[in-house]
Amino acid sequence: LEARGGLTPDTAAADRLARVPGVLGVAPFVQGPGLAVGHGSSAGALLWGIDPAQQDRVSDLARYIEWSDQSGFAPGAFGVVLGAALAERLRAQPGDRVMLVLPSASVTPAGIVPRQKRFRVVGILRSRSEVDARAAVVHIEDARRLFRLGQRVDGWQLRVDDLFAVESTAATALTLLDQPGVRATTWMRTHGNLYHAIGMQKSTMFVLLSFLIAVAAFNLVSTLVTVVNQRSGDVAILRTLGATSGLVVQTFVLLGLLLGGAGVLLGAALGVALASVLPELYATLTAAFGVDLMSQYFVNYLPVEVRFDDLIGIVCVALGLCLLSTWYPAWRALRLRPSEVLAHE
């Protein structure tokens, strides 16, 4: 939640926001664009002022910071935590000093001078995300002084328990806060396209998996057709003894379901078992060969979650295709004429 011109971070407002259903934590923040300069290089940066005593309520930022001097991240110490990619671009190491320049300017006897302040690097942020390329994290008190906000902040950061209900939670928070000019920015608005792309990718993978299962179903069809050809004499004898058409169809449908069902259940069991040990297996292979395939992502391990709703959907589709694949062999068995088959026996 943020407002143009800033907000007053009073305790009453924080308490109201904390009582919003679905909100797990509330913390103030200051944020603004700037330019980071160091060792003759410069890069655009996003200055982010946080209160380290409250930030853990709303994010896991501390997990990704490699501190060199955590005591230097204090009010008035002007310490900064640079994103790993930003620090590399500036060739800045822990303990170095970098200049943070704001787009606003101050009028001095020497003329118009951009607002700037020298900060000491006290840590490196390694989140393995795009944040590492721009983030310059400072103490919220230092950010207030730099942006001349006085006792105000740019807004409140909220952590919710249900990521997919964030829009309704934000609307409730705006209503309870009841301050003019405040707007809510959620992850769905900033990264919604990425979320929808992942959802589309998941749907596409399900379709591709269905095609793979369909190919396997053709193997089941060929197996059952072979059984019909090999057992045509037995089918003819059963028909002669009074077996009905329904019994013949049921026999081959049941045979197909037994063969296909055994394969589906065995495959599902092996898949779940493999998924359960995949993180440990990946860690072992990474340590053995020294290759980290997850180095470009947010995590340094292979996250695996067995979703039983997806598993049930896959099993149902596979069994459905197995059922469909039995009809053609059953139809061929039904078309056999006992007199013609027995004449060649």
Residue 109 has pLDDT above 70, yes or no: no
Residue with tokens 């919220």: 140
Average pLDDT in the 291-307 region?
72
Name the region of 51 (left: φ>0; alpha: ψ -120 to 50; beta: rest): beta
185, 216, 251 - which closes a domain: 185
Q: Which residue has the tokens 């800033």?
A: 6
Same-domain status, 177 and 289: no
Residue where one domain finishes, among candidates 167, 185, 203: 185
Asked whether residue 289 carries a pLDDT value surpassing 70, the answer given is yes
**Model confidence over 206-226: pLDDT tens digits?**
888 888 888 888 888 888 888
Of the candidates 307, 328, 213, the one whose C-alpha atom is nearest the C-alpha of residue 264 is: 213
Mean pLDDT of 281-290: 83
| 165 and 210 both lie in a single domain | no
Together in a domain, 284 and 137: no
CB 3 within 8 A of CB 183: yes
Range of the domain at 95: 2-185
- What is the Cα–Cα distance from 88 to 95, expressed in whole angstroms? 14
Dihedral sign (CA 309, 314, 318, 321): positive
* pLDDT for position 296: 62
pLDDT at residue 344 greater than cutoff 70? no
Per-residue confidence (pLDDT) for residue 97, from 0 to 100? 93
Q: Are residues 224 and 154 in the same domain?
A: no
Q: Examine the domain organization and report whether 176 and 30 are in the same domain.
A: yes
Positions of E strands within 143-246? 153-160, 182-183
Tell whether 66 and 107 lie within a shared domain. yes
Cα separation, 114 vs 105, whole angstroms: 4
Give the 3-state secondary structure of residue 249: helix
pLDDT for the residue 342: 63
**Is 64 in the same domain as 22?**
yes
Question: Tokens at residue 212, please?
Answer: 């793979």
Number of separate domains in the chain? 2
178 and 205, same domain (yes or no):
no
Measured N-to-C along each axis, helices 166-177 and 11-18 cross at an angle, to the nearest 10 degrees, of: 140
Higher pLDDT, residue 137 or 106: 137
Q: With bands split at pLDDT 50, 70 and 90, how would you rate the model's confidence at 195?
A: confident
pTM of the entire predicted model: 0.65
pLDDT at 305 over 80: yes
Query: Is 300 a residue whose pLDDT tops 70?
Result: no
- Residue 297 pLDDT: 62
- Same domain? 212 vs 86: no
Last residue of a domain, one of 132, 161, 185: 185
Task: Compute the radius of gyration of the chain from its Cα atoms.
Answer: 32
Whether residue 199 is found in the same domain as residue 153:
no
Q: Looking at the structure, do residues 179 and 262 belong to the same domain, yes or no? A: no
Q: Are residues 243 and 135 in the same domain?
A: no
